Amino acid sequence: MNSIKALEKKWYQYKLNKNITILKIVLAVMVVILSIYMVTLLYWDKEDEKGSDIIVKNSTVHKEQNISKDVNVSSALQQTIPLENLNASTMVIPVVAGEIIKVEDKNKNINNTPKNTHTINNQKNITNIKPKNQSTNLSSSERDEIERDIPKSNVKINMSVSEDNFLQNMEEKFKESGNAKDAVVIARTHYENKDYAKASQWALKANTMDKNLDESWTVFAKSKAKMGQEKDAVKILEQYGARGRDGEAQALIEKVKTKTLE
């Protein structure tokens, strides 16, 4: 219980850290957006100021060229801006009579276009970049690899030949070894093959050699039952049960009586 509670605590800590990380990311993104916005705003403001300067200068001196720097504005206004040249795009700055405003000679600054306009023609036309031509067909080596990986079709094998060999092999082995366990294997195999007579013979042989082999009892009894000799089967199982295997014996006896043996 304590370990789960400790794990729960760890999970709360993990959630907290995760939320803090998300918050940090959100804040960072907001800062970036704000910075971009501020920079853009400042840049636009500067552009506006330059633009208004140019317009004012244009409106005051467009008719006059080579004006001297210090000009008496009131006289300049009266003399240089005809009314028909004033329009909505020009700004007329109200000036106090007699105030001197420095005026730029328009001829000097006529080519003050921003630098970036020069790059328009030099910009790479990205639509000219062609995507890499990729083939979607498999190469011959890729095809070979796939064919190699395809599993071979199922081959049906007649197992009965090897089963006969198996019994022969086991009988050979038993002849040499004289081991009761080998006899049990043979008995069991005959039982599986529904040859109950041979199964009971071999089981009895094994049981005679070694009464401690549980399967020698059970295969013997089951074979008897399958041959219709249920009473004998029950007697065998009762003897088996008396050897301290009462549980298993009773279960099998029940199956023999109800004819539900596998």
Query: Which stretches of the chain bind another protein, using CB under 8 A?
Result: 1, 4, 7-8, 10-11, 14, 151-152, 154-155, 157, 159, 162-163, 165-166, 169-170, 172-173, 176-177, 179, 181-182, 185, 188-189, 192
CB of 243 to another protein, least distance (A): 24
User: Cβ closer to another protein: 77 or 170?
Assistant: 170
CB of 7 to another protein, least distance (A): 5
- What phi and psi values does residue 49 have, to the nearest 5 degrees? -65, -45
Residue 15 burial (CB count, 10 A): 10
CB of 20 to another protein, least distance (A): 14
**Residues whose CB falls within 8 Å of the CB of residue 73, separated by 6 or more in sequence, listed in order:** 95, 97, 98, 99, 100, 101
User: Cβ closer to another protein: 97 or 155?
Assistant: 155
User: Cβ closer to another protein: 17 or 109?
Assistant: 17
User: Cβ closer to another protein: 170 or 227?
Assistant: 170
User: Cβ closer to another protein: 73 or 185?
Assistant: 185
CB of 157 to another protein, least distance (A): 5
CB of 141 to another protein, least distance (A): 20
User: Cβ closer to another protein: 14 or 37?
Assistant: 14
Residue 197 burial (CB count, 10 A): 11
Q: H helices within 62-193, ranges in order?
A: 73-80, 140-149, 159-177, 180-192
Both tokens of 42, joined, read: 């400042």
SS3 call for 185: helix
Q: Are 82 and 66 spatial neighbours (Cβ–Cβ below 8 Å)?
A: no
Rounded CA-CA distance 32/52 in Å is 30
CB of 242 to another protein, least distance (A): 29
Longest dimension (CA), the chain: 143
Q: Are 1 and 9 spatial neighbours (Cβ–Cβ below 8 Å)?
A: no
